[in-house]
């Protein structure tokens, strides 16, 4: 391998590690991202300017025809433009689906590389295995990410075939057997490889379809990790260090992130993948309503405004409803108004508020909410007993006391925000429908709770104008 290219790849790899490291702290995160991006650009430019290929385990320089260079330039230009435009245009509430979509593209790229390379590596069992692994993982990531994308933007619903776990597991084993067969067969059989591609794509669909919408972040993180692994495998195929190390880094980082997210919801990964609760809200919700009994207390914007106006400490609990209604700017206005009136206002951020851990922070930061006002669960929970009013906006499961006192509840044991300890609780929700976990919330029936029904944005706007008149 050319020494120049080796050094370039080495630098890129180091920037990836440093970049990931810096991404872990709020002050350095932006720099970290830029450093990794520079490393990536270096790797891309180096690869193009110093073309080499692996031949009989030795890397040799190659001469590239002009046509190829023109096509590469065109592809890079078109793709960069598309990526840039999507990234700049998308609304911040759409973040999770966007990450999923981009991730799917990465998977598809690995899948296509595998398809092209299959024919070039006939006879070498180890190489064939690598190619096949790239095809399988790449296509599962591709189709799985597209389903996750569709679910997050609401165009796809949960679909569960009867005995889907059994079917999926059998299909997965079948896929492995099929792959082994192709490797054993050797030879170049296009039909077999397209069959494998098709089966992997189907598996990706069936894998993600039954998983509830609330668990999509976990799935995306897992699929992200898989894309990393696919990249690493392709790296082995080309004897390419930057792909190998970069891919593995993303693979292991993504996997850990997946576990951290599961942890925050007090679920195991297998529970997320095979449990499939969280979509079937209709019947579970109905029975739970009966159990909670009690009656709810409705309130109006003006009553809520009075309550907030005379409070000395208010905690806002934002949830996905706030994100969907695009109410992050109004809530900030409300916060400023209350602060002006001498009320101590802070935000309680549950680790899985929104659709992704940290999603709520991104949204609130977008509307200029002060970083110091966002308080994490463990720090805010002891403060609820001396909080006058808690304003829950579009959050449900993360404030459901069933997590503490109902062992039969699917969310039992999940750490929650203990808002029921506050003196008053105002819950803004569109309807009485159950939350994403598909279970009813007894908090709403609490005597201290009043319900402010309506879309988060219009309800909060009304609240703000009432407060202004006071």
Partner 1 sequence: MNELLEFISNNLELIYILILAIFIGVELIKNVPSVLHTPLMSGANALSGVVIVGALLVMLQADPNDYLALGLGFIAVVLGIINVVGGFAVTDRMLQMFKKKK
Catalytic center residues: 397
Please identify which residue in the block is written with the tokens 């409070």: 311
Q: Using CB under 8 A as the criterion, what x/- string covers residues 278-317 for binding partner 1?
A: ----------------------------------------
Judged by CB under 8 A, the chain residues 121 through 180 that form the site for partner 1 are 125-126
Q: If binding means CB under 8 A, how many residues of this protein chain bind partner 1?
A: 112
Work out which of 4, 7, 14, 84 binds partner 1, going by CB under 8 A: 84
Q: Which is nearer to partner 1, 73 or 413 (CB)?
A: 73
DSSP conformational letter for 272: I
Does position 244 interact with partner 1 (CB under 8 A)? The reply is yes
Work out which of 139, 200, 299, 361 binds partner 1, going by CB under 8 A: 361
Cβ neighbourhood burial of 311 (10 Å; 0-12, 13-18, 19+)? buried
Q: What angle do CA 239, 240, 243 make, to 5 degrees?
A: 135
Please identify which residue in the block is written with the tokens 């490291």: 21
Work out which of 7, 14, 60, 75 binds partner 1, going by CB under 8 A: 75
Does position 32 interact with partner 1 (CB under 8 A)? The reply is yes
Q: Which stretch binds partner 1 (CB under 8 A): 284-292, 332-340, 370-378, 431-439?
A: 370-378
Does position 76 interact with partner 1 (CB under 8 A)? The reply is yes
| Minimum separation from the CB atom of position 239 to partner 1 (A) | 9
Q: Which is nearer to partner 1, 20 or 202 (CB)?
A: 20
Does position 322 interact with partner 1 (CB under 8 A)? The reply is no
Region for 310 from its dihedrals, namely left if φ exceeds 0, alpha if ψ lies in -120 to 50, beta otherwise: alpha
DSSP conformational letter for 64: P
- Kindly give the pairing relationship between strand 374-376 and strand 52-55: unpaired
Judged by CB under 8 A, the chain residues 395 through 424 that form the site for partner 1 are none
Does position 374 interact with partner 1 (CB under 8 A)? The reply is yes
Distance CA 406, CA 80 (A): 51
Q: Are 15 and 43 in contact (CB under 8 A)?
A: no
Distance CA 267, CA 217 (A): 13
Does position 112 interact with partner 1 (CB under 8 A)? The reply is yes
Return the closest-CA partner of residue 113 out of 80, 142, 87, 84. Answer: 142
Cross-strand bridge partners of residue 376: 349
Does position 257 interact with partner 1 (CB under 8 A)? The reply is yes
- Helix (H) or strand (E) holding 136, with range, is helix 125-152
| Minimum separation from the CB atom of position 318 to partner 1 (A) | 13
Q: Are 453 and 429 in contact (CB under 8 A)?
A: yes
Q: Which is nearer to partner 1, 113 or 327 (CB)?
A: 113
Judged by CB under 8 A, the chain residues 40 through 69 that form the site for partner 1 are 40, 43-44, 47-48, 51, 53, 62, 64-65, 67-68
Distance CA 201, CA 332 (A): 44
Q: What angle do CA 207, 440, 387 make, to 5 degrees?
A: 115
| Minimum separation from the CB atom of position 179 to partner 1 (A) | 16
Q: Which stretch binds partner 1 (CB under 8 A): 169-177, 357-365, 402-410, 442-450?
A: 357-365
DSSP conformational letter for 413: T
Q: Which stretch binds partner 1 (CB under 8 A): 39-47, 307-315, 422-430, 448-456?
A: 39-47
Does position 83 interact with partner 1 (CB under 8 A)? The reply is yes
Q: What is the DSSP string of 78-130?
A: HHHHHHHHHHHHS-GGGHHHHHHHHHHHHHHHHHHHHHHHHGGGTT-HHHHHH
Q: Which is nearer to partner 1, 208 or 311 (CB)?
A: 208
Q: Which is nearer to partner 1, 374 or 451 (CB)?
A: 374
Work out which of 271, 336, 365, 412 binds partner 1, going by CB under 8 A: 365
Judged by CB under 8 A, the chain residues 180 through 219 that form the site for partner 1 are 217
């Amino acid at each position: 391998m050319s020494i120049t290219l080796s050094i370039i790849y080495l630098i890129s790899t180091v920037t990836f590690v440093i970049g990931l490291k810096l991404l872990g702290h709020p002050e350095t995160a932006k720099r970290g991202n830029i450093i990794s991006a520079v490393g990536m650009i270096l790797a891309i430019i180096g690869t193009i300017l110093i073309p080499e290929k692996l031949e009989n385990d030795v890397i040799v320089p190659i001469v590239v025809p002009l046509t190829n260079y023109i096509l590469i330039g065109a592809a890079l230009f078109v793709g960069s433009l598309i990526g840039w435009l999507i990234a700049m245009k998308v609304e911040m509430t759409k973040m999770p689906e966007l990450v999923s979509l981009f991730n799917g593209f990465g998977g598809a790229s690995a899948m296509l590389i595998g398809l092209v390379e299959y024919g070039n590596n006939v006879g070498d069992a180890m190489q064939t295995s690598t190619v096949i692994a790239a095809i399988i993982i790449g296509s599962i990531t591709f189709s799985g990410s597209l389903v996750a994308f569709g679910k997050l933007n609401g165009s796809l619903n949960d679909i569960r075939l009867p005995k889907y776990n059994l079917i999926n597991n059998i299909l997965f084993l079948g896929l492995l057997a099929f792959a082994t067969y192709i490797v054993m067969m050797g030879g170049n059989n296009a039909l077999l490889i397209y069959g494998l591609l098709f089966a992997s794509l189907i598996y990706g669909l069936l894998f993600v379809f039954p998983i509830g919408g609330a668990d999509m972040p976990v799935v995306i993180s897992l699929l992200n990790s898989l894309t990393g692994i696919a990249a690493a495998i392709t790296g082995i195929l080309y004897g390419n260090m930057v792909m190998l190390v970069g891919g593995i880094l993303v693979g292991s980082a993504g996997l850990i992130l997946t576990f951290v997210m599961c942890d925050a919801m007090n679920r195991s990964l297998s529970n997320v993948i095979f449990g499939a609760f969280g979509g079937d809200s209709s019947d579970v919700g109905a029975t739970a309503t009966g159990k909670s009994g009690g009656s709810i207390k409705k309130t109006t914007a003006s009553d809520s405004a009075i309550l907030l106006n005379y409070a000395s400490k208010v905690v806002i609990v934002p949830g996905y409803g706030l994100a969907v209604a695009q109410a992050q700017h109004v809530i900030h206005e409300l916060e400023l108004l209350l602060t002006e009136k001498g009320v101590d206002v802070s935000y309680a951020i549950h680790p899985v508020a929104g659709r992704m851990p940290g999603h709520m922070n991104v949204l609130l930061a977008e509307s200029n909410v002060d970083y110091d006002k966002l308080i994490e669960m463990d720090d805010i929970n002891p403060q609820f007993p001396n909080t006058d009013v808690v304003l829950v906006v579009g959050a449900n499961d993360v404030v459901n006391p069933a997590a503490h006192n109902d062992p039969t509840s699917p969310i039992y044991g999940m750490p929650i925000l203990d808002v029921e300890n506050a003196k008053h609780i105002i819950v803004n929700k569109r309807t009485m429908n159950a939350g994403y976990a598909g279970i009813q919330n007894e908090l709403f029936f609490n005597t201290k709770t009043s319900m402010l029904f309506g879309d988060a944005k219009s309800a909060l706007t009304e609240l703000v104008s009432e407060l202004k008149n006071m």
